[in-house]
Amino acid sequence: MFDDTAFAIHRRELHVHCYRMVGNFEEAEDLVQETFLRAWRARGGFDGGNLRAWLYKIATNTCLDAIKRLKRRAPGRDTPAEIPWLQPYPDRLLDEIAPREDEPDAVVVARETIELAYLALIQLLPPRQRAVVIVRDVLGWSAAETAELLDISVPSANSALQRARATLEERMPARESAPAAPTEEERALLERFIEAHERADAEAAVALAAEDVRVTMPPHPFVHDGHDALRRLMGNVHPDEWRLVPTSANRMPAAASYWRQPDDDTFRAFKIDVVRIVDGRVGEITTFDAALFEAFGLPATL
């Protein structure tokens, strides 16, 4: 029961759970390791029941302890720029989560529950409310299961869920269900945006963007809104200095950028842009540094 294989089966979904709780890919790695360490130490108390549920309980409490220890508070707004610890999650790793024969009802990672806007928003919730809404509305657990997970009463679990849902409904506009992965149309739009970026063609990039396009760059607090702001950002781009590679993150199209300095003949990993597409236009670009290129399966240089 308690060997590397037993834990490894659940590793990716626990990593995604921790990622939702803390909004940071690298911290989620550490939290999963801590979860398995705690599980190994507590193995004598496992009653032989549902191993997955038992590990989720340990992982959730590990995250709550970490959040308390970090004393991290979101500033009260819900854009990625206001969550400086936010990181993207590679789709190629999300794809590792799939229902197995012994767990046909396992939850598939839907865009609505992993995209950056949702991740940024739930960071505003108090930690216990965050845990409740993830377990109830993302994982689909019952009120009784949630109460047991958090060692609280069912009424307390329901009350926390009600408050969390009210906050989410107030801040996140209603919309139709998003596709499970970037569509062909979204990928084609990304390719056109990549071509415009590599040509340093600001007007072509602006033509692909919504009028209220927003660009943010966590952990920096800057927010760039509208066509004029995008045009100014593109003014810093020069032809032949950039190569962009399409990828995907958080079930959204993304581009990995490589930059070549004038005195260098090598393009080096520089940033990852995660693109939210709205009504066939680039609606938002969230730019991250190059820390996770390896996790995305991307080379460091081109």
CATH code assigned at 217: 3.10.450.50
- 294 — alpha (psi -120 to 50), left (phi > 0) or beta? alpha
Residue pair 127/61 in contact (Cβ under 8 Å)? The answer is no
Q: What is the mean pLDDT of residues 191-200?
A: 96
**Residue 230 and residue 199 share a domain:** yes
Q: What is the mean pLDDT of residues 28-35?
A: 97
**Residue 195 and residue 80 share a domain:** no
Token pair for 8? 């490894």
Q: What is the mean pLDDT of residues 157-176?
A: 85
Q: Which of 116, 140, 171 is the last residue of a domain?
A: 171
Cα three-residue angle 265-270-271, rounded to 5 degrees: 150
Q: Report, in angstroms and rounded to the nearest whole number, the Rg of the chain calculated over CA atoms.
A: 20
Q: Is a pLDDT exceeding 70 seen at residue 177? A: no
Question: Minimum mean pLDDT among 80-94, 98-112, 202-216: which range?
Answer: 98-112
Q: Which residues contact 45 (CB under 8 A, 6 or more apart)?
A: none
| Cα 108 from Cα 111, distance rounded (Å) | 10
Q: What is the mean pLDDT of residues 265-289?
A: 96
Domain assignment of residue 14, yes or no = yes
Residue 229 sits in which domain range?
A: 184-288
The confidence score (pLDDT) of residue 299 equals: 97
pLDDT top residue among 291 and 239:
291
Q: What is the mean pLDDT of residues 122-148?
A: 94
Domain assignment of residue 301, yes or no = no
As for how many domains the chain has, the answer is 2
Quickly state the pLDDT bin for 39 (edges 50, 70, 90): very high
Domain assignment of residue 293, yes or no = no
Q: Is a pLDDT exceeding 60 seen at residue 76? A: no
Q: Which CB contacts under 8 angstroms, 24+ apart, belong to 200-203?
A: 200/234, 200/237, 200/238, 200/239, 200/242, 201/234, 202/230, 202/231, 202/234, 202/235, 202/237, 203/231
Q: What is the DSSP letter of 138?
A: I
**Residue 249 and residue 153 share a domain:** no
Q: Is a pLDDT exceeding 70 seen at residue 44? A: yes
| Cα 33 from Cα 173, distance rounded (Å) | 36
| Cα 187 from Cα 56, distance rounded (Å) | 34
SS3 176: coil
Q: Is a pLDDT exceeding 90 seen at residue 65? A: yes
Quickly state the pLDDT bin for 98 (edges 50, 70, 90): low
Domain assignment of residue 179, yes or no = no
Token pair for 264? 């260098």
Q: What is the residue-averaged pLDDT of the chain?
A: 90
Q: Is a pLDDT exceeding 60 seen at residue 103? A: no
The confidence score (pLDDT) of residue 172 equals: 75
Q: Which residues contact 226 (CB under 8 A, 6 or more apart)?
A: 211, 212, 213
Q: What is the mean pLDDT of residues 22-44?
A: 94
